[in-house]
Amino acid sequence: MAPNVQREIERKYEVPPGAEPDWSALPTLTTEPEVDSRALEAVYYDTGSDRLAGFGIALRRRRGGPDAGWHLKYRDELGKHELHVPLLKTSDRLPAQMKQYVAGLLAGQELAPLATVRTDRRVLNVMHPDLGHVAEICIDDVTTVAERTGVRRSWAEYEVELVNDSGADGARVFEELEQVLLAGGLTPSESAAKIARALGADDDAPAVTVVEPDGTVREAASPDEPVAEPGAEGEQPGEKKSGKKTGKKTSKKSGKKSAKQKASGKKHKKKSAKKSGEKSSEEPAEESAGKASAKTLAKDPEKAPDRGSEDEAVPHPAEQSTEDRIRSLISASADALAYADFRLRIGDPEGVHEVRVSARRLIALIQGVGQEVAGTDHLELSERLWALSGQLSAARDAEVVAELLPLRAAVVGEQVSNAGLGQLRTLAQGNRESTRSAAVRYLNGKAHLQLLADLNSWKDELRLADAARALSGKKVATRAVKRWHETLSDADAQLGVEDTATIADTTPLRVLDSVHLHRKALRNLRYGMEGLAGVPGLEPKKSWRHLLDGTEEIQGELSDIMDSAVMDAWFASAARSLIRTGGDRYVVGLLHGHERARIQDYERRAPEVIDRLLSEVTPDV
Crossing angle of the two packed helices 351-369 and 322-345, in degrees rounded to 10: 160
Q: Is 604 exposed, middle or buried (0-12, 13-18, 19+ CB in 10 A)?
A: exposed
What angle in degrees, to the nearest 10, is found between the helix axes of 351-369 and 418-443?
50
Q: Smallest Cα–Cα separation from 397: which of 574, 573, 567, 589?
A: 567
Which region, left, alpha or beta, applies to residue 598 given φ > 0 means left and ψ of -120 to 50 means alpha?
A: alpha
* Residue 408 Ramachandran class (φ > 0 left, ψ -120 to 50 alpha, else beta): alpha
| Residue stretches of the chain with pLDDT short of 50 | 222-257, 260-312, 503-504
Q: Please, are residues 243 and 224 in contact by the beta-carbon 8 Å criterion? A: no
Radius of gyration of the chain (CA): 29
pTM: predicted TM-score of the whole model, two decimal places: 0.82
Q: What is the DSSP string of 292-314?
A: B-HHHHHH-TTS-B---SSSSPP
pLDDT for the residue 274: 37
Q: What is the pLDDT of residues 125-138, one digit of tens each?
A: 999 999 999 999 99
Q: Are β-strands 38-46 and 58-63 bridged in parallel, bridged antiparallel, or unpaired?
A: antiparallel
H or E element in which residue 124 lies: strand 112-128
As a dihedral over the C-alpha atoms of residue 73, residue 75, residue 76, residue 82, rounded to 10 degrees, the angle is 30
Measured between alpha carbons, how far apart are the two ends of the chain, in Å?
A: 57
Phi-psi region of 475 (alpha: psi -120 to 50; beta: other; left: phi over 0): alpha
* Homologous superfamily (CATH) for 319-616: CHAD domain (1.40.20.10)
Are the C-beta atoms of residues 528 and 481 closer than 8 Å to each other?
yes
What are the Cα distances from residue 445, in Å, to 103, 388, 438, 450, 533? 10, 11, 11, 9, 34
Q: Can you tell me the distance from the alpha carbon of 161 to that of 136, in angstroms, rounded to the nearest whole number?
A: 5
What pLDDT does residue 4 have? Answer: 76
Report which DSSP code applies to 284. Answer: P
Question: CB within 8 A of 494, min separation 6: which ones?
Answer: 517
**In angstroms, rounded to a whole number, what is the distance separating the alpha carbons of residues 154 and 208?**
6
CA distance 559 to 519: 7
Supply the angle between the helices 418-443 and 585-616 in degrees, to the nearest 10.
60
Neighbours of 367 (CB within 10 A): 18
CA–CA separation, 399 and 200 (whole Å):
45
Measured CA to CA, the distance from residue 11 to residue 560 in angstroms comes to 46
CA–CA separation, 136 vs 212, rounded Å?
34
Nearest-angstrom CA–CA distance, 339 and 103? 11
pLDDT for position 76: 86
Other C-beta atoms closer than 10 Å to the C-beta of 591 total 25
Please return the burial class of 265, using the count of CB atoms within 10 Å of its CB with bins 0-12, 13-18 and 19+. Answer: exposed
**Contact of 303 with 292, CB cutoff 8 Å:** yes
For residue 146, how many C-alpha atoms fall within 13 Å in the half-sphere facing its CB?
A: 25
Per-residue CA distances from 80 to 5, 9, 288 (Å):
10, 7, 11
Closest CA to 365 of 462, 452, 494: 462
> What percentage of the chain's residues is helix, strand, coil (to nearest 5)?
45, 15, 35
Bridge-based pairing of strands 30-33 and 112-128 is: antiparallel
Give residue 334's pLDDT. Answer: 97
Please report, for the chain, how many H helices and E strands are present, in that order: 16, 14
Indicate the domain borders of the chain. 7-44+117-249, 319-616
Q: Assess contact for 133 and 126: CB atoms under 8 A.
A: yes
DSSP 250: P
| Residue 79 one-letter amino acid | G
